[in-house]
Amino acid sequence: MKQYRTAEQVKKFDIFKIVTFGILVLLLLLAYAFLRSGENPPAVAQTTTEPTVAAAPATSEPVEATSQPAPATAAAEPAATVEPTATEEATTPTEVTAPTLDPLAEVTAGEVTLTGTGEPGSEVEIVVDGQVVGKTTVGSDGKWSFAADLPDPGEYQVGVQSVDVDGKTLAASEAVALTVTASVETSVAAATGTAAESAATTEATATEEGAAPLEVTAPTLDQPGEVTAGEVTLTGTGEPGSDVEIVVDGKVIGKTTVGRDGTWSFAADLPDAGEHEVSVQSVDADGKVLAASEAVALTVTAAPAAVATEEAAAPAATAEATTTTESTPSTEAAAPTLDQPGQVTAGEVTLTGTGEPGSDVEIVVDGQVVGKTTVGRDGTWSLVADLSRAGDYKISIQSVGADGSALAASEEMSVEVAAAQESEAAAPEEEGGQAYIVQADDWLSKLALKFYSDMTKYPAIVEATNAKAQEDSTFTVITNPDLIEIGQKLWIPAEAP
């Protein structure tokens, strides 16, 4: 039996089909937009979910009612047209200006400050040889700076790149070639391998850009001559204020500082007699060797006490019978000696002499004790006495016991002290120079530094003095520049080549 729907039923059925079809189309469009959008959410165009339905006249044929999908198609067309436009607007890239790196001159290994420009507030990464070494922010003035650590000398390729908050590179500059040179300490350390053999100076690279090479002058060691085993005073010259190490037979035995006058001294303990190789080397605050002198041969003889012991050892077996009877004289203390100081100037005068090693000696001037010192292991002593008045003095030396009692004394010696203004010839005897009387603690390089401001010009004093000695007997020929005596008369030329 055939069933007929009413017009109202047909209309409701048509509306149901249209709505269902529209929902399916909308779901397909949303799925398409979701799959197509990678990073940015799709812009969904306004879509009419309820299609406009025109009132249709009732029909008795249900087939005609089911063949009208036009409203759903009309609703789908606007969404398909708008969706590509929204996606295109969301993914349009923003143009980013690449940061710049200022030109770089030759720099020294270590911390190097790099600078450049960029978008204010943007983040830039510094890239060295393809590796990111750091990141900084561009200032409000459009400039940036970064302290990069480049510890090794050589060639580097340096560039900068701007990045976003996720660290993705937005734009990059071209790589710039940068030459990094070795620092002072690195250059000097490399040179010390051969400095001890031949170099008097070592060239080091300056730590500031564009600075000239820095010359490190090797310290010098005065020729000490033949000395006695024990405490030996070594002297020399160097850069004022620098530290120098004393090296004996390849081992560092001590360190001292060069004085403001460019001289240094050090009491070295050399207890063993024999031949030694002695040199000095300047060092920096970290103890690194900067420059070294050539090694000097030093002959050390046995101390007098040691010689006496060796000589006494042989007849010891035959002296047993007389030991008791001779024991009393052996306790007699030998009197110390006082060296003749020669002509000296009023003021501080260094007195020297010999005595029993380890014993205490007092200096007596005009019957008054003016000082006390201890005889060194090498059997010698020295003391600075204040002889501020010009005139004749009677000076002697006496050994004392632990209780301060005098054990033995030397004979008095007459010493003439000249007034201070008479110690040196203030006015030149000739136009070409002036005479000079050697004082305590004087040596030729020290005098060259004093008169010429260059300690290496001491040969001019030697040549001038030897020339004067040929015509004036008050001058003494200098045969060994490392040995001059207190009271010796020198000629200081007005100019030194």
Domains in the chain, number: 5
Q: Distance (Å, rounded) from C-alpha 378 to C-alpha 228? A: 6
Q: Which residue has the higher pLDDT, 317 or 395?
A: 395
Same domain (yes/no): 258, 159 = no
CB-CB contact of 286 with 392 (8 Å): no
Predicted pLDDT of residue 260 = 80
Same domain (yes/no): 432, 415 = no
Q: How far from chain centre, in Å, is Cα 422? A: 47
Average pLDDT over the chain reads 76
pLDDT range class, residue 24, cuts 50, 70, 90:
very high
Q: Is the dihedral of CA 477, 483, 489, 493 positive or negative?
A: positive
pLDDT surpasses 80 at 343 = no
Q: Which residue has the higher pLDDT, 185 or 58?
A: 185
- Give the percent of the chain with pLDDT over 90: 27
Residue-wise pLDDT tens digits, 83-131: 444 344 444 556 788 999 988 777 888 888 899 999 999 999 999 999 9
CB-CB contact of 270 with 230 (8 Å): yes
Same domain (yes/no): 273, 354 = no
Domain-located, residue 306:
no
Same domain (yes/no): 70, 117 = no
Q: Distance (Å, rounded) from C-alpha 371 to C-alpha 391? A: 20
Residues near 177 by beta carbon (within 8 Å), at least 6 away in sequence? 155, 156, 157, 158
Domain-located, residue 320:
no
Predicted pLDDT of residue 293 = 93
User: Of 90, 123, 154, which residue is a domain's last?
Assistant: 90
Same domain (yes/no): 474, 398 = no
Residues near 328 by beta carbon (within 8 Å), at least 6 away in sequence? none
pLDDT surpasses 60 at 57 = no
Residue-wise pLDDT tens digits, 221-261: 998 767 888 888 889 999 898 999 999 999 999 999 998 88
User: Of 90, 108, 128, which residue is a domain's last?
Assistant: 90
Residues near 264 by beta carbon (within 8 Å), at least 6 away in sequence? 219, 235, 236, 237, 238, 244, 256, 257, 258
Range of the domain at 61: 7-90
pLDDT surpasses 90 at 205 = no
Predicted pLDDT of residue 301 = 86
- The predicted model scores a pTM of 0.26
Same domain (yes/no): 24, 77 = yes
pLDDT surpasses 70 at 193 = no
Domain-located, residue 2:
no
Q: Which residue has the higher pLDDT, 400 or 2?
A: 400
Same domain (yes/no): 260, 350 = no
pLDDT surpasses 60 at 186 = no
Average pLDDT over residues 351-368: 90
pLDDT range class, residue 2, cuts 50, 70, 90:
low
Same domain (yes/no): 159, 246 = no
Same domain (yes/no): 140, 174 = yes
Domain-located, residue 317:
no
Predicted pLDDT of residue 284 = 93
Domain-located, residue 173:
yes
Same domain (yes/no): 164, 198 = no
Domain-located, residue 20:
yes
- Give the percent of the chain with pLDDT over 70: 72
For residue 91, give Cα distances in angstroms to 39, 41, 43, 86, 168. 8, 10, 11, 9, 16
User: Of 369, 399, 420, which residue is a domain's last?
Assistant: 420
Same domain (yes/no): 291, 220 = yes
CATH number of 431's domain = 3.10.350.10
Domain-located, residue 1:
no
Task: Please report, to the nearest 10 degrees, the dihedral formed by the alpha carbons of residues 391, 392, 396, 402 taken in order.
Answer: -30
Predicted pLDDT of residue 255 = 92
Predicted pLDDT of residue 58 = 39
Exposure pattern of 222-241 as b/e (b: 16+ CB <10 Å)?
bebeebbbbbbebbbbbbee
Exposure pattern of 97-118 as b/e (b: 16+ CB <10 Å)?
ebbbbeebeebbbbebebebbb
Sheet-wide strand order for 110-117? 100-101, 110-117, 143-150
Same domain (yes/no): 196, 286 = yes
pLDDT range class, residue 132, cuts 50, 70, 90:
very high
Domain-located, residue 322:
no
DSSP for residue 317: G
Residue-wise pLDDT tens digits, 261-288: 889 889 888 888 888 889 999 999 998 9
Predicted pLDDT of residue 334 = 85
Predicted pLDDT of residue 79 = 38
